[in-house]
Amino acid sequence: MIKGAIFDLDGTLYDYAANDAIAMKHLCACAKERLGVEEEDFLDAYREAKKLVKTRLTEGPSQHSRLLFCQTALELLEVNPFDHVPELYEAYWGSFLAHIAPFDGVIGMLQHLKASGIHTAVCTDMTAHIQYRKIRHLGLSDYIDALVTSEETGLEKPAPVMFQRTLKKLGLKPGDAVYVGDSLEKDVMGAAACGLRAVWFVAERTVPEDPPYPKLRSYRDDAWKELLL
């Protein structure tokens, strides 16, 4: 029996894509109200800003910063960012967190793991601040023993330090733990390369059978027990 279960956060314990779409709608509405910029014009600037930020910051959590995306978008639109960036940033994340909810079955799974004496952790890219906020809004705080973010390590998955730091916090060896994530390369292959049992959370996606990692489609109806315990 395993002693630890480590999870990715975004796209693994909740639906990141759906929440991002909702939050982007709210961000665009906020930009139109504050700046008088039409949604498509703001989106064009935001998409270009995102590319620029990720080109400049090729590693680490800052490449995901919505604050930098908004700042750079306003610079491209030739709008003074000082009057608007904090509000746009909060418009995005405020909406995101207001709608966030765990996948069906996640709470029950974590409760079972805790009751069974299995230690749990979240190992995730992005900055610690927003990941703590997500975990709290998801209602997972009481079931997670440790958090490791790429802000803490300076590198993103699949860097071995991400998985090694998490194992160290749990006091476990690689063979004692299972890792669950939605990204084949960053989560599953990264964890497996560090000696953890790796499970690929695929939900309803159509994915190839190879590579032959165990695939988890739902946390409902104890579907996870066969793969995690």
CATH number of the domain that residue 198 is part of: 3.40.50.1000
- Which helix (H) or strand (E) segment holds residue 6: the answer is strand 4-7
Tell me, yes or no, whether 92 and 180 share the same domain: no
Low-confidence ranges of the chain (pLDDT < 70): none
The parent domain of residue 145 ranges over 4-15+101-228
Tell me, yes or no, whether 115 and 136 share the same domain: yes
Per-residue pLDDT tens over the stretch 15-68: 999 999 999 999 999 999 999 999 999 999 999 999 999 999 888 788 889 999
Token look-up 């759906």 returns: 18
Tell me, yes or no, whether 119 and 79 share the same domain: no
Degrees to nearest 5, angle at CA 203 with 129 and 186: 50
Q: Rounded CA gap, 170 and 34, in Å?
A: 46
pLDDT at position 67 is 93
Q: How many domains does the chain have?
A: 2
**Catalytic residue IDs:** 8, 10
8 A C-beta contact, residue 165 and residue 145? no
pLDDT at position 212 is 82
pLDDT at position 208 is 79
Tell me, yes or no, whether 85 and 172 share the same domain: no
The letter for the amino acid at 163 is F
Annotate 135-202 with DSSP letters as a single string.
HHHHT-GGG--EEEEHHHHSS-TT-HHHHHHHHHHHT--GGGEEEEES-IIIIIIHHHHTT-EEEEE-
